[in-house]
Structure 1
């Protein structure tokens, strides 16, 4: 990573001598976080664990909503407290520590519990995990904006995505080698214990970042509450409003893969192995992380538009190929579609994360991130409920809606201003 003098001017003088070192430390800490994320995965590992422990299938339905919404909804409430701190890396450290503790709790449940007790234990630990993750999420972009200049932030996100993908690929291959769905819960418990150690290591590394102290905004206990401030931001800031709408429509790449898997199973070409799901995610990250990171630095806006259209195109192509006699039953169709959607999702995530860091400055960035994530938590539940209702008619109906939303997201994205290098 090279320092660009023009871009470095956007940072405080105290931060400029430490750009390279801070970038490496953030990549290392977030790579360790990504290691843990591959194990505490609400779409692959945790559903398998809940089923293997003999918990009722109803518990599986709550995993993704708790993981995603639980980490987003509290952020607007956290934001005033975070803005009151001059140094905000400790907020990330606290979040990582909480995730380590929650993951250790998941390991304990995996090793000792079964049935309904295990299901309750997994959901409780996951709720704690999600709340802790909300702290890390709200602080990470703020620390990144204070310590690394524009033009380099997307590359850091891309590098950590590649590291995460390498871990996912290795883990997936190991799970396949050890027997896939025949694995015992003791192995998953050991992996969860290792993930807890990864978060503890990430917290230790992040604590060494040389973050310049910024201005602290005192918490105004008598002023308008965070709900009112969020409403005022939504009403008064057109760029923020369009970004939240575009990001909500980008859910097409996050919510469509489970429906593709379900249709694949119905066609007799299901991805039955836990390891195969993890491998697909790993390949997507390895291929997309660095490429999309650079594209995000060039224009995160254009990358958001492209990701929306690409996800919709993949869905439409998949639904069309399902109608081809003899092709819909082939084993590779659902797997290839899942992989493509996972790849597109890498680009979508890097684009919207880079955009929100670049579009705002200082405390405005903290507020943008917090309020956007809180609103996304609500929208995620709403879109999830609608697609779940449509899925009762058939997975194809839910996919059609998501494809339409992706096209709408591209239209909204065209109205956003550029936010990269100037």
Structure 2
């Protein structure tokens, strides 16, 4: 057994039955491909921490004197911008025989966008700097869109069922270690008063990380298709079928019930991604300060990724639908308890356990979001084959881009009344998602 095979077997609990179904001439590529996917995903997740629209970029805006109103567009542009174009881009992706090159192109686009942000961190200031960074973030989101469409297809072609969730989990764990280290360094260097010059070096690191992602992906040995190479006419026909993107998206959601059910459940599970910022705001209103400072936020999310990545990876391979439901259920319960306790008069800046309440709540919801994210990624890879997987990923992400804008808008309106109403609205969505998720078919093979 080679060193690569031994290392892969240490990191991943292998599924012998599933590997036996892989064509004999491709079995020797499972371990090296799997290790490259682990490394690439870990580097990508680390890059996401460096260019985080919820933490790093708002700090950069504050350091450059960008008007606060512009800060509010960062997360919508980052999230919806990486999802909405996917249905439009699918026909182009379907024309590419080796989907890894689509991913590599996306990684290089993101590296270039982060380089622009780093340059502005060093030289810019005020509204002009903010507008350029927002424009660069939109380009970054487009690059991430390409990576999102192609990555799950590459994983589905190169790694058998029963091992895909673990790859996502190990990569998330590695990224968590990087995030914790990064957060500690930031706290030591600048605390909550980190300057634009220091953020320049942080963003420069992000450029290096995204270039490394592209370099790792080059070495992946990807088959043209899971059974056989598609003919040119088949590829063109497939692309033609998806030319009218929104019409095709609506038709797929209307006609494909299992896929429609998955998208519905995924929509309800948005609670775990949208609620953490509201928990932070609730803690600020209560006078808590345990989560202040850029380094503190990165450490908290990194610790959740470190624990959740390894914990939930194998769980996803056993039953990704159960992982999604459990993650949503626990996150909803944590939010409800947090809102209830936060209403007590004793919860204030003078109460150490009051401060701890928000720290533990933020960590728990972020941990559950890690599980939900790994679960739904594994589910969509396992439920489809070949080009259908590419279409599923693109259409579900495009639909989620629209739904994210709607749900985000509703929760923001409720937050105008009180943060607690926004959190309770999201918790109710999550509990509904638990019920709906239990009705999904089990597509895992662990």
| Cα distance in 2, alignment partners of residues 157 and 278 from structure 1 | 20
Does residue 51 of structure 2 align to residue 63 of structure 1?
Answer: no
Closer, same or farther: CA 360–9 of 1 in aligned 2, 3 Å: farther
SS class of match (1:262): helix
1:107–1:391 CA distance, 2 compared to 1 (3 A):
same
Cα deviation per residue 1:315-345 (whole Å; 9 max; x = unaligned)? 0110111133313542222111111111011
Count of aligned pairs between the two proteins: 422
User: Counterpart in 2 of 1:363?
Assistant: 387
What's the CA shift string for 1:92-116, capped at 9, x where partnerless?
0000010100110110111111110
Which residue is equivalent to 1:308? Answer: 328
Normalised by the length of structure 1, the TM-score is 0.97
SS in 2 for 1:15: helix
The residue correspondences of 1:269-308 to structure 2 (distance < 5 A) are 269-270=288-289, 271-308=291-328
User: How many Å separate the matches in 2 of 1:393 and 1:336?
Assistant: 25
Output the TM-score relative to the length of structure 2: 0.92
Q: How does 1:41-52 map to 2 (within 5 A)?
A: 41-52=52-63
Alignment partner of 2:417: what SS?
coil
- In structure 2, the residue matched to 1:80 is 91
User: Contact 1:15–1:210 (CA<8 Å) still a contact in 2?
Assistant: no
Q: 1:345: which partner in 2?
A: 369
Change (3 A) 1:206 1:222: closer
Q: Which residue of 1 aligns with 2:215?
A: 204
Aligned match of 1:99: 110
Deviation at 1:81, TM superposition (A): 1.6
Q: How far apart are residue 28 of structure 1 and its match? A: 1.0
Name the residue aligned to 1:8.
Answer: 19
- Give the C-alpha shift of residue 80 in structure 1: 1.7
Q: Which string of whole-angstrom CA distances, capped at 9 and with x for unpartnered residues, describes residues 195-238 of structure 1?
A: 10111011011011011122344234765522222111101111
Q: Is the CA contact 1:96–1:200 (under 8 Å) kept in the aligned structure 2?
A: yes
- Which has the higher mean CA deviation after the structures are superposed, 116-125 or 219-228? 219-228
- Describe the superposition over 1:10-50 as per-residue Cα deviations: whole angstroms up to 9, x where unpaired: 44444321100000011111211122111100111111111
Q: 1:353, CA displacement in angstroms?
A: 0.2
Which consecutive residues of structure 2, in runs of 5 or more, have no partner in the other structure? 1-7
Alpha-carbon distance between aligned partners in 2 of 1:51 and 1:178, rounded to the nearest angstrom: 17
1:218 aligns with 2:235: yes
Structure 1 residues 200 and 106: alpha-carbon distance in aligned structure 2, compared to 1, 3 A threshold: same
Does 2:252 correspond to 1:233?
yes
Equivalent-residue separation in structure 2 for 1:218 and 1:147 (angstroms): 20
Distance (Å, rounded) in 2 between the aligned partners of 1:128 and 1:207: 22
What corresponds to 2:265 in structure 1?
246
Structure 2 Cα separation of the partners of residues 14 and 238 of structure 1: 36
2:102–2:146 Cα contact (<8 Å) kept? yes
Runs of 4+ in 1 over 6 A off after TM superposition: none
Partner of 1:54: 65
Task: Tell me, in whole angstroms, the C-alpha distance in 2 between the residues paired with 1:235 and 1:124.
Answer: 35
CA contact (8 A) 1:81 1:219 kept: no
Corresponding residue number in structure 2 for 1:416 = 440
Is the Cα contact below 8 Å between 2:83 and 2:145 reproduced in 1?
yes
SS in 2 for 1:392: helix
Task: Measure the CA separation in 2 of the matches of 1:328 and 1:359.
Answer: 47
Once the two structures are TM-superposed, the CA of residue 9 in structure 1 deviates from its matched residue by 4.1
RMSD: 1.4
Contact 1:69 1:378 (8 Å CA) reproduced: yes
Q: Look up the match of 1:406.
A: 430
Tell me if structure 1 keeps the 8 A contact 2:287–2:348. no
Range with bigger deviation, 2-11 or 278-287: 2-11
Structure 2 match to 1:374: 398
| 2:275 is the counterpart of 1:256 | yes
Displacement of 1:58 in angstroms is 1.1
Distance apart, 1:5 and its partner CA: 3.4
Give the secondary-structure state (helix, strand or coil) at the position aligned to 2:49: helix
8 Å CA contact 1:14–1:212 kept in 2: the answer is no
Measure how far apart 1:84 and its partner are: 1.8
Aligned residue number for residue 389 of structure 1: 413
